[in-house]
Amino acid sequence: MARLVIVSNRVASPKERAAKAGGLAVALREALGQRGGLWFGWSGETQTDPPPPKVFRSGRVTYALQTLDPEDQRAHYAGYANGALWPLCHYRLGAISYRRADWLGYRRVSEHFARSLMPLLTPDDTVWVHDYHFIPLAAELRKLGFEGRIGYFHHIPWPTPEVFLTLPSHAALVQDLSHYDLVGLQTEHDVRALLTYISSEAHGWIAPGGVVGLRERRFRILSFPIGIDAAAFVHDAKASVGRDEERRLEASLAGRALAVGVDRLDYSKGLPNKFAAFGELLNAYPEHRSKVTMMQIAPVSREEVAEYRALRRELEELGGAINGEYAEFDWVPLRYLNKAFPRATLAAIYRNARLGLVTPLRDGMNLVAKEYVAAQNPKDPGVLVLSRFAGAADELTGALIVNPYDIEGMAEAFNVGLRMPLEERKERWRANMDKVETNTIHEWCENFIAELSRPVDQFTAGPES
Ligand code: ADQ
């Protein structure tokens, strides 16, 4: 078995506990542990003239952490990756700030990463790059002579060609993708979007098996919908029953229904729309006043980007307005918390929530939707309200699917969910849980690595006629 090398911006340190590191980090660490491997990423530090990476070992995994030049790191992370690519891939054209200097800084970081990773590689290694921070990495490794297999997984949506074309560097970015052997996207919709761009704008060709030809390169583009560690969530949710935290939560609700949202504080997550829809529920269906409490957990994120600071202010105003208008002396409609919780606490909150509100404007997959399903009590499950624009909506067809731009429609769905009879809740939950249990994070990891190990020539000789 080839040694696995994972590259990601953030590396979960060996001591970070599962509850803190998150499902993806834990699954990657497991995959590395099983076959032995290297995890390469940013150290979280900046320094002019950065030294070679800090390399250390823990069990079967070697970690290599690279420090970056401060200006490169800014241009790369807050500049191009989160100032241009993130809004682009989430269809937020108005939020894009594109600067050539950032694009150059973004590329320099991949170049720098490639130069410091190359001496740590052996020719038989399989390299798996994660996310939009490092799209040019394969091209840079190829320039340095690495001929082994390289895969890329894009955790966020791939935009349709009309949207993608607004990015000045679109052609170079897709050219960069062609240096991978396998490009993984979350959904079939994302795959279609990228293939359409390649055939209609980049003069590439497409053949069965996800094979793509672009200039002299041949590679594959396939969808790999990411999952969660379902068993761990089921376990944590069950274990929470009767514990101190759960009792405190129950007591605080005083018999009221709970509607929960858990999202990073990010404009792609549709938080203002969700707040507005909750306000509309209380306005249009007054019977729910004093009967339902919404809890929105939203740890702040990327505060170095102006859009995120503005969103935080907007939510404070909206949340305050809802509470000001509807609160009673013994009931606060909206609990808004800007902090992170351990997985066990989240699982307890999910399990006690009659509604799970996952209403992003765009989302690659959305793991919270799957976590909410896994944490439910099968005998009395809650209802998932899910945006059609989350990748998870393809699989979780038992959810109440909503359009987050339709505030009244969402309020209506919240009302339907709160009134849904037990039998229907069970049926819908079962359909969702079947998907969550069969397509877990472990299967996702295995599938990607298995496809990456298959040579592209095995599939076809050339374009579809
Ligand atoms: P994110 O945009 O971060 O991920 P998501 O898939 O929902 O979105 O994952 C967030 C994770 O963070 C979840 O596991 C959740 O439990 C955790 N989390 C959120 N708030 C928390 C809190 N307050 N305390 C503790 N944990 C919290 C990106 C893409 C998604 C894609 C994932 C994985 O944007 O579309 O699903 O990568 O590919």
The percentage of the chain sitting over the pLDDT mark of 70, rounded to a whole number, equals 97
Q: Is the CB of 154 under 6 A from ligand 1?
A: no
Q: How far apart are CA 113 and CA 144, in angstroms?
A: 12
Instruction: Answer yes or no: 124 catalytic.
Output: no
What pLDDT is stored for residue 465 in this prediction?
Answer: 45
Query: Tokens 């969700």 map to which residue?
Result: 274
Q: How far apart are CA 183 and CA 169, in angstroms?
A: 19
Question: 262, 271, 361: which to mutate for ligand 1, most atoms within 8 A of CB?
Answer: 262
Q: Which two tokens stand for residue 407?
A: 């505030």
Which parts of 326-367 are beta strand (E)? 334-337, 355-358
Instruction: Answer yes or no: 155 catalytic.
Output: yes
Q: Is the CB of 155 under 6 A from ligand 1?
A: yes
pLDDT tens digit sequence for 189-208: 999 999 999 999 999 999 99
Question: Which pLDDT band holds residue 20 (cuts at 50, 70, 90)?
Answer: low
Query: Is the pTM of the predicted complex or chain greater than 0.80?
Result: yes
The 3-state DSSP class for residue 135 equals: coil
pLDDT tens digit sequence for 235-281: 999 999 999 999 999 999 999 999 999 999 999 999 999 999 999 99
Strand order in the sheet with 334-337: 334-337, 292-297, 257-262, 355-358, 383-387, 400-402
Q: Which two tokens stand for residue 3?
A: 């040694």
Question: Which pLDDT band holds residue 175 (cuts at 50, 70, 90)?
Answer: very high
Instruction: State yes or no: pLDDT of 301 exceeds 90.
Output: no
Average predicted confidence (pLDDT) for the chain:
95
Instruction: State yes or no: pLDDT of 459 exceeds 90.
Output: no
Query: Tokens 């939020």 map to which residue?
Result: 95
Question: Which pLDDT band holds residue 36 (cuts at 50, 70, 90)?
Answer: confident
Question: Which pLDDT band holds residue 299 (cuts at 50, 70, 90)?
Answer: very high
Q: Is the CB of 33 under 6 A from ligand 1?
A: no
Complex ipTM above 0.90?
A: yes
Residues 425-444, mean pLDDT to the nearest whole number: 97
C-alpha 25 chain-centroid distance? 12
Q: Is the CB of 20 under 6 A from ligand 1?
A: no
Query: Tokens 């699917």 map to which residue?
Result: 401
Question: Which pLDDT band holds residue 29 (cuts at 50, 70, 90)?
Answer: confident
Alpha helices in 286-360 (DSSP H): 306-326, 343-351
Question: Which pLDDT band holds residue 462 (cuts at 50, 70, 90)?
Answer: low
Residues 302-314, mean pLDDT to the nearest whole number: 90
Q: Which two tokens stand for residue 175?
A: 């050219």
Q: How far apart are CA 116 and CA 40, in angstroms?
A: 10
Instruction: State yes or no: pLDDT of 44 exceeds 70.
Output: yes
Domains along the chain with CATH numbers: 4-227+444-453 (3.40.50.2000), 230-437 (3.40.50.2000)
Q: Which two tokens stand for residue 89?
A: 């891939």
Question: Which pLDDT band holds residue 464 (cuts at 50, 70, 90)?
Answer: low
Instruction: State yes or no: pLDDT of 19 exceeds 60.
Output: no
Candidate list 76, 90, 154, 155, residue with the active-site label: 155
Contact 261, 226 (CB under 8 A): no
What pLDDT is stored for residue 369 in this prediction?
Answer: 98
What pLDDT is stored for residue 461 in this prediction?
Answer: 59
Residues 212-219, mean pLDDT to the nearest whole number: 96
DSSP one-letter code for 82: I
Question: Which pLDDT band holds residue 17 (cuts at 50, 70, 90)?
Answer: low
